[in-house]
Amino acid sequence: MRVFKPLAEWYANAAGHRKLGLRYDDLLSEENEVGHRAVARLSPAQSYERIFRLRRAMQYSLMQKVLPEKEWTKPEEVSLGRE
């Protein structure tokens, strides 16, 4: 629904994961069966990029900093399959 899109964008920006370079899919737990199967379906390149994003986010989180703005995850980079 178009009505909720501005609110959804605001919430995604307020959550802070984009400022650490993470995508929403990176936040999903892979400890349950569904998450584990989803991660197993990633190509080796996608898996490497995901691990890189998670490690970089952890490092910046421990330093209590955020990435430079040019490295933030942009809304168009995140594909949730919904429009």
CATH code (residue 54)? 1.10.1090.10
pLDDT of residue 20: 92
Here the tokens at position 35 are 């998450």
Residue 2 lies inside a defined structural domain of this protein: no
Residue type present at position 10: W
Residue 3 lies inside a defined structural domain of this protein: no
Q: For residue 80, what pLDDT band results from cuts at 50, 70 and 90?
A: low
Q: Which residue has the tokens 């197993």?
A: 40
Flag whether pLDDT at 83 surpasses 50: no
Residue type present at position 68: P
Q: Which residue has the tokens 């899919």?
A: 25
Average pLDDT of the segment spanning 69-76: 89
Can you state the percent helix, strand and coil of the chain, rounding each to 5?
65, 0, 35
Domain tally, the chain: 1
Here the tokens at position 5 are 């899109």
Domain that holds residue 64: 12-71
Average pLDDT of the segment spanning 51-79: 90
- 3-57 pLDDT tens trace: 888 888 888 788 888 999 998 888 888 888 988 898 899 999 999 999 999 999 9
